[in-house]
Structure 1
Protein backbone atom coordinates (compact mmCIF):
# COMPACT_ATOMS: atom_id res chain seq x y z
CA UNK A 1 0.00 0.00 0.00
CA UNK A 2 1.71 3.19 -1.13
CA UNK A 3 1.50 6.45 0.83
CA UNK A 4 -0.35 7.97 -2.13
CA UNK A 5 -3.00 5.27 -2.02
CA UNK A 6 -3.24 5.59 1.73
CA UNK A 7 -3.31 9.39 2.02
CA UNK A 8 -6.30 11.68 1.72
CA UNK A 9 -7.61 15.18 1.80
CA UNK A 10 -9.25 15.52 5.18
CA UNK A 11 -12.60 17.20 5.62
CA UNK A 12 -13.11 19.72 8.42
CA UNK A 13 -16.48 18.34 9.45
CA UNK A 14 -16.97 17.67 13.20
CA UNK A 15 -16.61 14.21 14.67
CA UNK A 16 -19.70 12.12 13.91
CA UNK A 17 -20.69 8.56 13.19
CA UNK A 18 -20.96 9.22 9.46
CA UNK A 19 -18.21 7.85 7.24
CA UNK A 20 -15.59 10.54 6.55
CA UNK A 21 -14.40 11.23 3.02
CA UNK A 22 -11.00 9.70 3.60
CA UNK A 23 -9.09 7.10 1.60
CA UNK A 24 -7.63 5.75 4.84
CA UNK A 25 -11.08 4.89 6.13
CA UNK A 26 -11.49 1.55 4.25
CA UNK A 27 -8.78 0.12 6.54
CA UNK A 28 -10.91 1.12 9.53
CA UNK A 29 -13.97 -0.60 8.07
CA UNK A 30 -11.91 -3.70 7.35
CA UNK A 31 -10.65 -3.68 10.95
CA UNK A 32 -14.19 -3.40 12.31
CA UNK A 33 -15.39 -6.28 10.12
CA UNK A 34 -12.51 -8.43 11.37
CA UNK A 35 -13.58 -7.89 14.98
CA UNK A 36 -16.76 -9.24 16.55
CA UNK A 37 -17.97 -6.05 18.18
CA UNK A 38 -21.29 -4.90 19.54
CA UNK A 39 -22.93 -1.93 17.77
CA UNK A 40 -21.96 0.35 20.68
CA UNK A 41 -18.32 -0.78 20.52
CA UNK A 42 -18.21 -0.26 16.75
CA UNK A 43 -19.62 3.22 17.24
CA UNK A 44 -16.94 4.02 19.82
CA UNK A 45 -14.11 2.75 17.59
CA UNK A 46 -15.38 4.76 14.64
CA UNK A 47 -15.59 7.90 16.74
CA UNK A 48 -12.05 7.56 18.13
CA UNK A 49 -10.41 6.60 14.84
CA UNK A 50 -12.14 9.44 13.05
CA UNK A 51 -10.96 11.82 15.77
CA UNK A 52 -7.38 10.70 15.07
CA UNK A 53 -7.75 11.07 11.30
CA UNK A 54 -9.03 14.62 11.74
CA UNK A 55 -5.90 15.37 13.77
CA UNK A 56 -3.34 14.15 11.23
CA UNK A 57 -2.97 14.14 7.43
CA UNK A 58 -0.40 11.33 7.45
CA UNK A 59 -1.20 7.96 5.89
CA UNK A 60 -1.31 4.95 8.18
CA UNK A 61 2.09 3.76 6.98
CA UNK A 62 3.78 6.99 8.08
CA UNK A 63 2.40 7.26 11.60
CA UNK A 64 5.27 7.22 14.13
CA UNK A 65 5.49 6.63 17.86
CA UNK A 66 6.42 10.29 18.30
CA UNK A 67 3.16 11.31 16.62
CA UNK A 68 1.15 9.01 18.89
CA UNK A 69 2.81 10.67 21.90
CA UNK A 70 1.99 14.11 20.45
CA UNK A 71 -1.60 13.02 19.93
CA UNK A 72 -1.77 11.77 23.52
CA UNK A 73 -0.55 15.19 24.72
CA UNK A 74 -3.14 16.86 22.48
CA UNK A 75 -5.93 14.79 24.04
CA UNK A 76 -4.72 15.42 27.59
CA UNK A 77 -5.24 19.15 27.10
CA UNK A 78 -9.02 18.78 26.85
CA UNK A 79 -10.12 15.27 27.88
CA UNK A 80 -10.33 13.30 31.10
CA UNK A 81 -7.86 10.51 31.78
CA UNK A 82 -10.53 7.90 31.04
CA UNK A 83 -11.34 9.54 27.69
CA UNK A 84 -7.64 9.70 26.78
CA UNK A 85 -7.28 6.00 27.54
CA UNK A 86 -10.34 5.14 25.43
CA UNK A 87 -8.85 7.02 22.49
CA UNK A 88 -5.43 5.39 22.90
CA UNK A 89 -6.95 1.93 23.38
CA UNK A 90 -8.80 2.29 20.06
CA UNK A 91 -5.55 3.22 18.32
CA UNK A 92 -3.64 0.38 19.98
CA UNK A 93 -6.26 -2.12 18.90
CA UNK A 94 -6.38 -0.80 15.35
CA UNK A 95 -2.60 -0.62 14.81
CA UNK A 96 -2.15 -4.05 16.40
CA UNK A 97 -4.51 -5.44 13.77
CA UNK A 98 -3.01 -3.39 10.93
CA UNK A 99 0.52 -4.55 11.74
CA UNK A 100 -0.56 -8.20 11.54
CA UNK A 101 -2.87 -7.81 8.55
CA UNK A 102 -0.49 -5.71 6.41
CA UNK A 103 3.09 -6.42 7.56
CA UNK A 104 4.50 -5.28 4.21
CA UNK A 105 2.84 -1.88 4.48
CA UNK A 106 3.52 -0.97 8.09
CA UNK A 107 6.96 -1.71 9.53
CA UNK A 108 6.05 -1.45 13.21
CA UNK A 109 3.22 -0.76 15.62
CA UNK A 110 3.65 2.92 16.59
CA UNK A 111 1.37 2.59 19.63
CA UNK A 112 3.30 -0.23 21.29
CA UNK A 113 5.68 2.00 23.26
CA UNK A 114 2.97 4.44 24.38
CA UNK A 115 1.46 3.62 27.76
CA UNK A 116 -2.08 4.31 28.86
CA UNK A 117 -2.57 6.69 31.74
CA UNK A 118 -2.62 4.98 35.12
CA UNK A 119 -6.09 5.30 36.62
CA UNK A 120 -7.07 3.65 39.89
CA UNK A 121 -9.99 1.29 39.52
CA UNK A 122 -13.21 2.88 40.74
CA UNK A 123 -14.87 1.12 43.67
CA UNK A 124 -17.71 -1.29 42.98
CA UNK A 125 -21.04 0.55 43.02
CA UNK A 126 -23.03 -2.33 44.43
CA UNK A 127 -26.29 -1.83 46.29
CA UNK A 128 -26.70 -2.55 49.98
CA UNK A 129 -29.06 -5.30 51.14
CA UNK A 130 -31.54 -2.64 52.27
CA UNK A 131 -31.44 -0.96 48.86
CA UNK A 132 -32.00 -4.28 47.08
CA UNK A 133 -34.96 -5.00 49.35
CA UNK A 134 -36.39 -1.51 48.67
CA UNK A 135 -36.01 -2.08 44.92
CA UNK A 136 -37.99 -5.33 45.07
CA UNK A 137 -40.66 -3.61 47.11
CA UNK A 138 -40.83 -0.84 44.50
CA UNK A 139 -41.36 -3.26 41.63
CA UNK A 140 -44.30 -4.80 43.50
CA UNK A 141 -46.22 -1.52 43.39
CA UNK A 142 -49.30 -1.75 41.11
CA UNK A 143 -48.54 -0.76 37.52
CA UNK A 144 -49.41 -1.80 33.97
CA UNK A 145 -45.86 -3.09 33.53
CA UNK A 146 -45.63 -5.03 36.80
CA UNK A 147 -45.18 -8.48 35.19
CA UNK A 148 -42.53 -7.32 32.73
CA UNK A 149 -40.61 -5.16 35.20
CA UNK A 150 -40.48 -7.97 37.75
CA UNK A 151 -39.00 -10.35 35.16
CA UNK A 152 -36.66 -7.65 33.91
CA UNK A 153 -35.33 -6.90 37.38
CA UNK A 154 -34.87 -10.61 38.04
CA UNK A 155 -32.70 -10.96 34.93
CA UNK A 156 -30.67 -7.79 35.51
CA UNK A 157 -30.08 -8.91 39.10
CA UNK A 158 -28.07 -11.80 37.61
CA UNK A 159 -25.39 -9.49 36.26
CA UNK A 160 -26.41 -9.11 32.62
CA UNK A 161 -25.61 -5.86 30.85
CA UNK A 162 -28.59 -3.82 29.65
CA UNK A 163 -27.53 -4.28 26.02
CA UNK A 164 -27.37 -8.05 26.50
CA UNK A 165 -30.86 -8.12 27.99
CA UNK A 166 -32.22 -6.01 25.14
CA UNK A 167 -30.87 -8.57 22.63
CA UNK A 168 -32.40 -11.62 24.35
CA UNK A 169 -35.10 -13.62 22.61
CA UNK A 170 -37.61 -16.01 24.17
CA UNK A 171 -35.55 -18.91 22.79
CA UNK A 172 -32.51 -17.76 24.76
CA UNK A 173 -34.28 -18.88 27.95
CA UNK A 174 -34.49 -22.65 28.41
CA UNK A 175 -36.34 -22.58 31.71
CA UNK A 176 -33.12 -22.80 33.72
CA UNK A 177 -30.58 -20.42 32.24
CA UNK A 178 -30.15 -17.58 29.78
CA UNK A 179 -27.85 -17.80 26.79
CA UNK A 180 -26.14 -14.53 25.89
CA UNK A 181 -25.29 -14.66 22.20
CA UNK A 182 -24.45 -10.99 21.74
CA UNK A 183 -22.18 -9.80 24.51
CA UNK A 184 -19.67 -6.99 24.92
CA UNK A 185 -16.25 -7.88 23.50
CA UNK A 186 -17.37 -11.41 22.61
CA UNK A 187 -18.46 -12.06 26.21
CA UNK A 188 -21.11 -14.56 25.21
CA UNK A 189 -22.04 -17.42 27.51
CA UNK A 190 -24.75 -18.77 29.76
CA UNK A 191 -26.08 -17.46 33.06
CA UNK A 192 -28.05 -19.79 35.38
CA UNK A 193 -31.04 -18.21 37.10
CA UNK A 194 -32.10 -18.68 40.70
CA UNK A 195 -35.39 -20.44 41.43
CA UNK A 196 -37.07 -17.13 42.31
CA UNK A 197 -35.87 -15.50 39.09
CA UNK A 198 -37.10 -18.45 37.00
CA UNK A 199 -40.53 -18.18 38.60
CA UNK A 200 -40.68 -14.43 37.92
CA UNK A 201 -39.62 -14.81 34.30
CA UNK A 202 -41.99 -17.75 33.76
CA UNK A 203 -44.84 -15.67 35.20
CA UNK A 204 -44.12 -12.83 32.78
CA UNK A 205 -44.09 -15.15 29.75
CA UNK A 206 -47.27 -16.89 30.91
CA UNK A 207 -48.92 -13.47 31.30
CA UNK A 208 -48.06 -12.70 27.69
CA UNK A 209 -49.52 -16.02 26.54
CA UNK A 210 -52.73 -15.39 28.45
CA UNK A 211 -53.06 -12.12 26.59
CA UNK A 212 -53.08 -14.10 23.32
CA UNK A 213 -49.46 -13.76 22.29
CA UNK A 214 -47.66 -16.69 20.68
CA UNK A 215 -44.23 -16.54 22.27
CA UNK A 216 -42.09 -17.95 19.44
CA UNK A 217 -38.40 -18.50 20.12
CA UNK A 218 -37.50 -15.58 17.87
CA UNK A 219 -39.72 -13.15 19.80
CA UNK A 220 -38.01 -10.58 22.08
CA UNK A 221 -37.81 -11.73 25.68
CA UNK A 222 -38.88 -8.29 26.91
CA UNK A 223 -41.39 -6.06 25.14
CA UNK A 224 -41.94 -2.33 25.19
CA UNK A 225 -45.13 -0.89 26.65
CA UNK A 226 -44.62 2.44 24.93
CA UNK A 227 -47.90 3.92 23.59
CA UNK A 228 -46.03 4.85 20.41
CA UNK A 229 -44.63 1.39 19.63
CA UNK A 230 -46.19 -1.17 21.97
CA UNK A 231 -45.11 -4.77 21.58
CA UNK A 232 -41.72 -4.09 19.99
CA UNK A 233 -38.43 -5.14 21.57
CA UNK A 234 -37.59 -3.28 24.77
CA UNK A 235 -34.33 -1.57 23.88
CA UNK A 236 -31.37 -0.33 25.88
CA UNK A 237 -32.93 3.07 26.57
CA UNK A 238 -36.21 1.49 27.67
CA UNK A 239 -34.38 -0.77 30.10
CA UNK A 240 -32.30 2.13 31.41
CA UNK A 241 -35.30 4.35 32.14
CA UNK A 242 -37.34 1.49 33.61
CA UNK A 243 -34.61 0.79 36.17
CA UNK A 244 -34.08 4.49 36.81
CA UNK A 245 -37.78 4.92 37.60
CA UNK A 246 -37.76 1.88 39.89
CA UNK A 247 -34.77 3.38 41.67
CA UNK A 248 -36.64 6.63 42.23
CA UNK A 249 -39.59 4.71 43.71
CA UNK A 250 -37.15 2.85 45.98
CA UNK A 251 -35.36 6.03 47.03
CA UNK A 252 -32.13 5.09 45.21
CA UNK A 253 -30.70 8.06 43.35
CA UNK A 254 -29.14 7.62 39.92
CA UNK A 255 -29.78 3.88 39.76
CA UNK A 256 -28.56 2.29 36.53
CA UNK A 257 -28.74 -1.30 35.24
CA UNK A 258 -24.96 -1.54 35.58
CA UNK A 259 -25.17 -1.05 39.35
CA UNK A 260 -27.20 -4.27 39.45
CA UNK A 261 -24.34 -5.98 37.62
CA UNK A 262 -21.91 -4.64 40.26
CA UNK A 263 -24.23 -5.91 43.00
CA UNK A 264 -24.38 -9.39 41.45
CA UNK A 265 -20.60 -9.73 41.08
CA UNK A 266 -19.90 -8.48 44.60
CA UNK A 267 -22.61 -10.73 46.05
CA UNK A 268 -21.08 -13.85 44.48
CA UNK A 269 -17.69 -13.09 46.00
CA UNK A 270 -19.11 -12.14 49.39
CA UNK A 271 -20.81 -15.55 49.49
CA UNK A 272 -17.41 -17.17 49.03
CA UNK A 273 -17.61 -18.19 45.36
CA UNK A 274 -14.25 -18.74 43.68
CA UNK A 275 -13.36 -15.59 41.73
CA UNK A 276 -12.77 -17.60 38.54
CA UNK A 277 -16.28 -19.05 38.72
CA UNK A 278 -17.78 -15.64 39.51
CA UNK A 279 -15.91 -14.06 36.61
CA UNK A 280 -17.15 -16.82 34.32
CA UNK A 281 -20.74 -15.98 35.26
CA UNK A 282 -20.26 -12.24 34.76
CA UNK A 283 -18.24 -12.88 31.58
CA UNK A 284 -15.61 -10.25 32.37
CA UNK A 285 -12.76 -10.42 29.87
CA UNK A 286 -10.47 -8.27 31.99
CA UNK A 287 -9.27 -9.66 35.30
CA UNK A 288 -8.18 -6.14 36.31
CA UNK A 289 -11.73 -4.81 35.95
CA UNK A 290 -13.07 -7.69 38.01
CA UNK A 291 -10.69 -6.95 40.89
CA UNK A 292 -12.84 -4.07 42.10
CA UNK A 293 -15.44 -6.63 43.23
CA UNK A 294 -12.85 -8.89 44.81
CA UNK A 295 -11.43 -5.98 46.81
CA UNK A 296 -14.64 -5.45 48.77
CA UNK A 297 -15.15 -9.19 49.24
CA UNK A 298 -11.60 -9.58 50.62
CA UNK A 299 -12.15 -6.67 52.99
CA UNK A 300 -15.39 -8.25 54.27
CA UNK A 301 -13.67 -11.64 54.69
CA UNK A 302 -10.77 -10.03 56.56
CA UNK A 303 -13.19 -8.26 58.90
CA UNK A 304 -14.97 -11.53 59.67
CA UNK A 305 -11.60 -13.20 60.32
CA UNK A 306 -10.64 -10.33 62.63
CA UNK A 307 -13.64 -10.78 64.92
CA UNK A 308 -13.28 -14.54 64.76
CA UNK A 309 -9.65 -14.27 65.91
CA UNK A 310 -10.75 -12.10 68.85
CA UNK A 311 -13.53 -14.53 69.70
CA UNK A 312 -16.10 -11.76 69.29
CA UNK A 313 -19.32 -11.43 67.37
CA UNK A 314 -19.24 -8.81 64.60
CA UNK A 315 -21.10 -5.63 65.68
Structure 2
Protein backbone atom coordinates (compact mmCIF):
# COMPACT_ATOMS: atom_id res chain seq x y z
CA UNK A 1 0.00 0.00 0.00
CA UNK A 2 2.84 2.43 0.89
CA UNK A 3 4.46 1.63 -2.47
CA UNK A 4 1.21 2.46 -4.32
CA UNK A 5 0.87 5.79 -2.47
CA UNK A 6 4.49 6.64 -3.20
CA UNK A 7 4.06 5.82 -6.87
CA UNK A 8 0.93 7.99 -7.00
CA UNK A 9 2.74 10.95 -5.41
CA UNK A 10 5.61 10.52 -7.85
CA UNK A 11 3.22 10.52 -10.83
CA UNK A 12 1.51 13.69 -9.57
CA UNK A 13 4.88 15.35 -9.14
CA UNK A 14 5.91 14.47 -12.69
CA UNK A 15 2.63 15.86 -14.07
CA UNK A 16 3.11 19.06 -12.09
CA UNK A 17 6.69 19.46 -13.34
CA UNK A 18 5.57 18.78 -16.91
CA UNK A 19 2.87 21.43 -16.80
CA UNK A 20 5.28 23.90 -15.29
CA UNK A 21 7.36 23.45 -18.43
CA UNK A 22 4.31 24.51 -20.55
CA UNK A 23 3.71 20.97 -21.75
CA UNK A 24 0.03 21.27 -20.75
CA UNK A 25 -1.24 24.47 -22.45
CA UNK A 26 -4.67 25.81 -21.57
CA UNK A 27 -7.14 25.52 -24.49
CA UNK A 28 -7.87 28.87 -26.16
CA UNK A 29 -11.19 30.51 -25.31
CA UNK A 30 -10.84 33.12 -28.05
CA UNK A 31 -13.87 32.84 -30.39
CA UNK A 32 -11.52 33.47 -33.32
CA UNK A 33 -9.89 30.09 -32.65
CA UNK A 34 -13.16 28.22 -32.92
CA UNK A 35 -13.80 26.10 -35.98
CA UNK A 36 -16.57 27.08 -38.38
CA UNK A 37 -18.47 23.89 -39.18
CA UNK A 38 -21.39 23.24 -41.50
CA UNK A 39 -24.31 20.84 -41.47
CA UNK A 40 -24.99 20.74 -45.20
CA UNK A 41 -28.16 18.99 -46.35
CA UNK A 42 -29.84 18.66 -49.71
CA UNK A 43 -33.48 19.57 -50.17
CA UNK A 44 -35.85 17.53 -52.33
CA UNK A 45 -34.91 16.84 -55.96
CA UNK A 46 -31.28 17.79 -55.57
CA UNK A 47 -28.36 16.19 -57.41
CA UNK A 48 -25.34 13.98 -56.79
CA UNK A 49 -23.93 13.08 -54.14
CA UNK A 50 -26.24 10.70 -52.21
CA UNK A 51 -29.89 11.01 -53.10
CA UNK A 52 -33.18 9.39 -52.26
CA UNK A 53 -35.96 8.93 -54.82
CA UNK A 54 -37.56 12.25 -53.88
CA UNK A 55 -34.29 14.06 -54.53
CA UNK A 56 -33.40 14.79 -50.91
CA UNK A 57 -30.11 13.51 -49.57
CA UNK A 58 -26.71 14.37 -48.20
CA UNK A 59 -23.18 15.13 -49.33
CA UNK A 60 -20.31 12.68 -49.28
CA UNK A 61 -16.83 13.26 -47.90
CA UNK A 62 -14.81 15.19 -50.45
CA UNK A 63 -17.76 16.85 -52.19
CA UNK A 64 -16.67 20.46 -52.62
CA UNK A 65 -18.88 23.53 -52.73
CA UNK A 66 -18.09 27.23 -53.09
CA UNK A 67 -18.77 29.07 -49.84
CA UNK A 68 -19.38 32.83 -49.88
CA UNK A 69 -19.06 34.48 -46.45
CA UNK A 70 -19.85 38.19 -46.27
CA UNK A 71 -20.80 41.24 -44.25
CA UNK A 72 -22.24 44.13 -46.23
CA UNK A 73 -20.14 46.72 -44.39
CA UNK A 74 -16.85 44.97 -43.65
CA UNK A 75 -16.07 42.58 -46.49
CA UNK A 76 -16.32 39.04 -47.82
CA UNK A 77 -14.42 35.80 -48.45
CA UNK A 78 -14.78 33.02 -51.02
CA UNK A 79 -13.73 29.52 -49.96
CA UNK A 80 -13.81 26.14 -51.71
CA UNK A 81 -15.03 23.94 -48.86
CA UNK A 82 -14.63 20.14 -49.07
CA UNK A 83 -17.02 18.15 -46.89
CA UNK A 84 -15.15 16.27 -44.17
CA UNK A 85 -11.76 17.55 -45.33
CA UNK A 86 -11.69 21.34 -45.03
CA UNK A 87 -11.15 23.13 -41.72
CA UNK A 88 -12.27 26.75 -41.43
CA UNK A 89 -11.75 28.93 -38.34
CA UNK A 90 -13.43 32.20 -37.49
CA UNK A 91 -10.00 33.86 -37.49
CA UNK A 92 -9.71 32.96 -41.18
CA UNK A 93 -12.52 35.42 -41.91
CA UNK A 94 -10.63 38.70 -41.47
CA UNK A 95 -13.75 40.84 -41.89
CA UNK A 96 -15.71 39.02 -39.14
CA UNK A 97 -16.05 40.97 -35.89
CA UNK A 98 -17.06 39.37 -32.61
CA UNK A 99 -20.49 40.45 -31.47
CA UNK A 100 -21.75 40.91 -35.04
CA UNK A 101 -23.47 38.68 -37.58
CA UNK A 102 -22.16 37.63 -40.97
CA UNK A 103 -23.84 35.75 -43.80
CA UNK A 104 -23.03 32.49 -45.55
CA UNK A 105 -24.27 31.38 -48.97
CA UNK A 106 -23.00 28.53 -51.14
CA UNK A 107 -23.27 26.75 -54.48
CA UNK A 108 -22.46 23.23 -55.68
CA UNK A 109 -20.58 22.27 -57.78
CA UNK A 110 -17.85 24.87 -57.18
CA UNK A 111 -18.08 28.03 -59.29
CA UNK A 112 -15.77 30.98 -59.99
CA UNK A 113 -17.37 33.99 -58.33
CA UNK A 114 -17.29 37.62 -59.38
CA UNK A 115 -18.30 39.23 -56.12
CA UNK A 116 -21.36 37.23 -55.10
CA UNK A 117 -22.27 36.18 -58.65
CA UNK A 118 -21.25 33.66 -61.28
CA UNK A 119 -22.10 32.97 -64.91
CA UNK A 120 -23.64 29.61 -65.71
CA UNK A 121 -24.42 27.61 -68.84
CA UNK A 122 -26.73 24.66 -68.41
CA UNK A 123 -25.89 21.44 -70.22
CA UNK A 124 -27.35 17.97 -69.94
CA UNK A 125 -24.92 16.48 -67.43
CA UNK A 126 -24.60 16.13 -63.66
CA UNK A 127 -22.62 19.37 -63.29
CA UNK A 128 -25.59 21.29 -64.66
CA UNK A 129 -27.82 20.22 -61.79
CA UNK A 130 -26.77 23.32 -59.90
CA UNK A 131 -27.47 23.55 -56.15
CA UNK A 132 -27.59 26.82 -54.23
CA UNK A 133 -27.86 27.39 -50.47
CA UNK A 134 -29.47 30.75 -49.81
CA UNK A 135 -27.90 33.31 -47.50
CA UNK A 136 -28.14 32.60 -43.77
CA UNK A 137 -26.92 34.93 -41.02
CA UNK A 138 -24.79 33.61 -38.15
CA UNK A 139 -23.30 35.12 -34.99
CA UNK A 140 -19.52 35.47 -35.28
CA UNK A 141 -17.91 32.83 -33.06
CA UNK A 142 -20.89 30.47 -33.26
CA UNK A 143 -19.87 27.00 -31.99
CA UNK A 144 -22.75 24.97 -33.39
CA UNK A 145 -22.62 23.67 -36.99
CA UNK A 146 -24.10 26.14 -39.46
CA UNK A 147 -27.06 24.72 -41.38
CA UNK A 148 -26.87 25.03 -45.16
CA UNK A 149 -29.80 23.71 -47.19
CA UNK A 150 -29.04 23.33 -50.88
CA UNK A 151 -31.87 23.53 -53.41
CA UNK A 152 -32.11 23.17 -57.16
CA UNK A 153 -31.29 26.30 -59.11
CA UNK A 154 -32.45 24.69 -62.36
CA UNK A 155 -35.75 23.25 -63.56
CA UNK A 156 -36.25 19.63 -64.62
CA UNK A 157 -38.55 19.13 -67.61
CA UNK A 158 -39.73 15.53 -68.07
CA UNK A 159 -41.50 14.31 -71.21
CA UNK A 160 -43.28 10.92 -71.13
CA UNK A 161 -44.89 8.96 -73.96
CA UNK A 162 -47.49 6.20 -73.67
CA UNK A 163 -48.39 4.33 -76.86
CA UNK A 164 -51.65 2.49 -77.53
CA UNK A 165 -50.34 1.52 -80.95
CA UNK A 166 -48.56 -1.84 -80.75
CA UNK A 167 -46.65 -1.12 -83.97
CA UNK A 168 -44.96 1.93 -82.50
CA UNK A 169 -41.80 1.54 -80.46
CA UNK A 170 -41.77 4.47 -78.03
CA UNK A 171 -38.07 4.04 -77.39
CA UNK A 172 -37.47 5.39 -80.90
CA UNK A 173 -39.30 8.69 -80.30
CA UNK A 174 -36.97 11.69 -80.53
CA UNK A 175 -37.64 14.78 -78.44
CA UNK A 176 -35.88 18.08 -78.99
CA UNK A 177 -36.01 20.90 -76.46
CA UNK A 178 -34.86 24.45 -77.30
CA UNK A 179 -34.48 27.00 -74.49
CA UNK A 180 -32.31 29.79 -73.08
CA UNK A 181 -29.17 28.16 -71.67
CA UNK A 182 -27.06 30.91 -70.08
CA UNK A 183 -27.40 33.43 -67.29
CA UNK A 184 -26.01 34.76 -64.04
CA UNK A 185 -26.85 33.66 -60.50
CA UNK A 186 -26.53 36.03 -57.53
CA UNK A 187 -25.89 34.23 -54.23
CA UNK A 188 -26.72 37.01 -51.77
CA UNK A 189 -30.11 37.84 -53.28
CA UNK A 190 -30.92 34.38 -54.64
CA UNK A 191 -31.88 35.91 -57.99
CA UNK A 192 -31.11 34.96 -61.60
CA UNK A 193 -30.45 37.14 -64.64
CA UNK A 194 -31.24 35.44 -67.96
CA UNK A 195 -28.67 35.43 -70.76
CA UNK A 196 -29.34 35.69 -74.49
CA UNK A 197 -28.07 32.32 -75.75
CA UNK A 198 -30.36 29.42 -76.67
CA UNK A 199 -29.43 25.75 -77.06
CA UNK A 200 -31.24 22.72 -78.47
CA UNK A 201 -31.03 19.43 -76.58
CA UNK A 202 -32.02 16.06 -78.06
CA UNK A 203 -33.03 12.86 -76.29
CA UNK A 204 -34.60 9.58 -77.45
CA UNK A 205 -36.94 7.26 -75.57
CA UNK A 206 -40.34 6.82 -73.97
CA UNK A 207 -39.30 9.12 -71.12
CA UNK A 208 -36.72 11.88 -71.36
CA UNK A 209 -35.65 14.75 -69.12
CA UNK A 210 -33.99 18.12 -69.67
CA UNK A 211 -32.37 20.49 -67.16
CA UNK A 212 -33.38 24.07 -67.91
CA UNK A 213 -32.73 27.51 -66.48
CA UNK A 214 -35.75 29.45 -65.15
CA UNK A 215 -37.46 31.32 -68.00
CA UNK A 216 -40.75 32.08 -69.71
CA UNK A 217 -42.66 29.07 -71.07
CA UNK A 218 -43.03 30.88 -74.39
CA UNK A 219 -39.25 30.62 -74.79
CA UNK A 220 -39.18 26.84 -74.34
CA UNK A 221 -39.92 24.79 -77.48
CA UNK A 222 -40.56 21.05 -77.73
CA UNK A 223 -40.31 19.14 -80.99
CA UNK A 224 -41.36 15.49 -81.17
CA UNK A 225 -40.26 13.26 -84.06
CA UNK A 226 -41.80 9.86 -84.74
CA UNK A 227 -40.27 8.47 -87.94
CA UNK A 228 -40.93 11.02 -90.69
CA UNK A 229 -43.62 12.81 -88.71
CA UNK A 230 -42.89 15.70 -86.37
CA UNK A 231 -44.66 18.42 -84.45
CA UNK A 232 -43.37 21.50 -82.69
CA UNK A 233 -44.83 23.86 -80.09
CA UNK A 234 -43.90 26.04 -77.11
CA UNK A 235 -44.79 25.13 -73.54
CA UNK A 236 -46.89 28.29 -73.41
CA UNK A 237 -49.16 27.06 -76.22
CA UNK A 238 -49.89 23.85 -74.31
CA UNK A 239 -51.51 25.84 -71.54
CA UNK A 240 -51.37 29.64 -71.07
CA UNK A 241 -51.66 29.32 -67.28
CA UNK A 242 -48.03 28.22 -67.19
CA UNK A 243 -46.10 31.44 -67.71
CA UNK A 244 -42.69 30.48 -66.32
CA UNK A 245 -40.68 27.41 -65.46
CA UNK A 246 -39.37 27.83 -61.95
CA UNK A 247 -36.20 27.00 -60.06
CA UNK A 248 -36.31 23.81 -58.04
CA UNK A 249 -39.41 22.40 -59.71
CA UNK A 250 -40.12 19.52 -62.04
CA UNK A 251 -42.65 19.79 -64.86
CA UNK A 252 -43.90 16.59 -66.48
CA UNK A 253 -45.49 16.59 -69.93
CA UNK A 254 -47.45 13.42 -70.76
CA UNK A 255 -48.31 12.30 -74.30
CA UNK A 256 -50.51 9.41 -75.38
CA UNK A 257 -50.11 8.04 -78.92
CA UNK A 258 -53.07 6.27 -80.55
CA UNK A 259 -54.29 5.80 -84.16
CA UNK A 260 -51.60 8.01 -85.58
CA UNK A 261 -52.33 10.80 -83.11
CA UNK A 262 -50.31 12.17 -80.21
CA UNK A 263 -52.70 13.16 -77.45
CA UNK A 264 -51.39 15.64 -74.95
CA UNK A 265 -52.74 14.01 -71.82
CA UNK A 266 -51.46 16.26 -69.07
CA UNK A 267 -48.84 18.50 -67.60
CA UNK A 268 -48.09 18.01 -63.92
CA UNK A 269 -45.56 19.22 -61.40
CA UNK A 270 -44.25 16.66 -58.96
CA UNK A 271 -41.44 16.41 -56.47
CA UNK A 272 -40.68 20.12 -56.24
CA UNK A 273 -44.18 21.53 -55.86
CA UNK A 274 -47.48 21.32 -57.70
CA UNK A 275 -48.18 23.81 -60.50
CA UNK A 276 -51.33 22.08 -61.69
CA UNK A 277 -52.52 19.85 -64.52
CA UNK A 278 -53.29 20.52 -68.20
CA UNK A 279 -55.35 18.35 -70.55
CA UNK A 280 -55.16 18.88 -74.31
CA UNK A 281 -54.78 17.03 -77.60
CA UNK A 282 -52.19 17.35 -80.35
CA UNK A 283 -52.58 15.69 -83.72
CA UNK A 284 -49.45 14.92 -85.73
TM over 0.5: no
Q: Which has the higher helix share?
A: 1
TM-score computed with the length of structure 1 as normaliser = 0.26
